[in-house]
Amino acid sequence: MGVDYYYLNRDKSQFFPSGLFHYCGRFKSAGPGLGGRALAILLSEYGTWRNDRISLIAEMEPEFNEMLSSGVDIEVEVEIMLLDFDGTEWIEDALESSIVFAEMCALAILLGRVDVIALLDEKFGTGKWQKKYQEHLKCNSDYWSRKIVEARNRGLNILIKQGRAG
């Protein structure tokens, strides 16, 4: 088994996995993956992490448990930020993964994201993805919905200004 890595903002006590959308979160993927893209936006003029102290920490490091207990997991906010900046086209192929499919369904249902609903309708058929999601939930836990509700309740804004980073 490998070790997953997380981006940690030491000044804001916020963190998210380097392997967003359940892509590889190992050290070799830190930087070039989706987590790296999200980090670049957060550090840009659009994000709230600019000029903060940022670390990449492994889940086996002693400070990892402290980060989990005292920090704020902003994985949901960061994934939504990527959808806002880059659209939904890039995630379409990943919908074949049941985990990514479930995450997108939860975002569509709980947040009413029109862009994600349109993507799911196009990929699986209007009204059909909801049935597929219900079948998925019969055999799988729904921890992602809880994370979305927690993020919505936090109301945390991780962007300074809206727009496309390009």
pLDDT digits (tens, 9 = 90+) for 33-91: 889 999 999 999 999 999 999 999 999 888 888 888 899 999 999 999 999 999 999 89
Strand, coil or helix: what is 4? coil
pLDDT digits (tens, 9 = 90+) for 109-159: 999 999 999 999 999 999 899 999 999 999 988 889 999 999 999 999 898
Q: Which whole-number Å values give the CA distances from 154 to 47, 132, 137, 144, 145, in the listed order?
A: 17, 29, 25, 15, 14
Q: Where are the domains of the chain?
A: 5-74, 78-154
Q: Does residue 166 have a pLDDT over 50?
A: no
